[in-house]
Structure 1
């Protein structure tokens, strides 16, 4: 035992108490505005299906069409890997998991579209289509054929279509209530948001519906689509998207980038409208910073290059979609849009390859961190959070299995969740 150190202080305890009291409003504001990630599953994609095209067999049909595309244009692991440039080590695991996913859960998040994909229709027709969507979604959740997440995209809150959008939402939600209640996986999407006041108005609309039906306040959340330049930077130079998140009063669940509307708004010519355009990167970077820590997740947009036609053309479209998806994942955009059944194989291939490529390294680093073991990388609590989130996302989508994660980390799913969603303050402390 060495000599015991003498500990001396100069400040009275009242100083710390006064500082804490002065910062109490800031502490409360941090908790309110930046609660952190909700810890729930985030789908890897959102599929948009026009309201008139959606039916009870849509999800299975998309899976079957995606499988047929593989059979026709990449019937085995080697041919698929050759198209996408997958390593020999990844070829079979990725291909087999893609096929299994298409058979088991081809769509993770489905939005029945009443906006651009549906267009203007007679009121009676849109009413009937919205009521039908509610019935079919309720039946899908009841019989076990639903995607994990399902809902609608209504028309926006701008004056020309506002009343129609409100009515469609009312018809749809009322239909769900009358069919047994709101499903847990319900998602609503508000498109073409330009001003925070439009978000506030949508919140008032949802509050009114909750009150009429005696629902718990805050039961209805929604995604905000970022499709205009004004939604990124306001006339006063402030970041509009940050103000939109606050205007949602805790109801915003996601920010979805609209590739083509946003590009067109900035005057990008049609040939260059893509999710990897510099204008797209700028918008998504602002979205990402605005959403960080708020519990609101960011989604990339889509590609409009469809994998259809002869094999050579399909392969070109697959390579494009795969590359864009991998690019988004590296930039921490863990979700995107898919517009055609032929996109689903490369969506899952990109996602599965992303998680399987880094799986062993991430598992090893987290295991060493959890066990306070040394290594060639000095990780901190914030990195442990990222490692835990990475492994959980891989598990949720089917890229990884819990048995292989447990084998390499010695951790349970609950352990991973603890690392991925630490309490505020834990990021500045050592792992327990």
Structure 2
């Protein structure tokens, strides 16, 4: 919006008193909400917002409740940002809130290249502190998660998206068969992972992005940051890409967290991998429906392949030994490129080269990020044209979902492994778990 700086200046004058707006820049992170960094009266701030109330439709609580939760967490000793004000209806800026800016590193690649020695212990300690927040300090709007109902909702979403992805069907059936008994409810951050924490030389500096918080099983938070996708290439370090699981669990328990149940942890590792697979599909659906037409959404929609690979890896561990050691079938043959007029792949390559050579050098800030995303999208299309991979198999997905087919069926695990490898090689060829799977599976 052209009047964004003027509107933000009016908000800050109301919240923090007289000042001048400076350094306004949209931050590239944040899959769901906008984040803007800026300076005001000598201080640094961040605005977290949704452009309209419509964007918040379907969410269990609004930004005012989210801000209240962040304030409650900070008051309880959690290293949450300091909220200084909440957008009002009359501000004309949608919904959101303003926080004092934390000066620390948030980029996972930078953090994991040289993590502070205390970081894994910090992660365990801080999560224990989040789970220890008193129930009466949590805003009433923060919902209680019923795991069985949540799983049923994931299943319904899967079917609404076509229900044709065998790895997702396998995971849904496994979760149904291994649903744990309810656990004592604590505040669950819901998105506790690299990318949502800030780190400085002394260790963990802040925990960000509280929009998915709810009451539920502590093991959900324990597992989420340990998913391969959130290790950001450090696949050999299962706890956040930082270190061993047992050291993480020990730090959590030493800081007052309840004893970690390894079976519950495994359930939630599978469940949240399934959840994110469907989350990626949902973003693709949001683009398709026109609700969010950004190129970032359509690209994230293809990251489902990463989670399918991880699900086949996780659940394949329970297949009979003969199936775990079975050789993989060959990949489908690549299509032969036609001679003569430029092929589809060549046309996509031409557009990709133009973006890289002519558009990207002149782009700045969020626009530069969007150009990179667009180039990634075209790269996926090029690889897909070369490979001719088909991701869906409705008949197999139905059989796995019903339980009439399992990984004990001779050759099925090998077929699913091959499909997962080939799809991930198209959609996310740099995904670290792909190389691990190739090594383990002989692919």
TM superposition score normalised by structure 1? 0.28
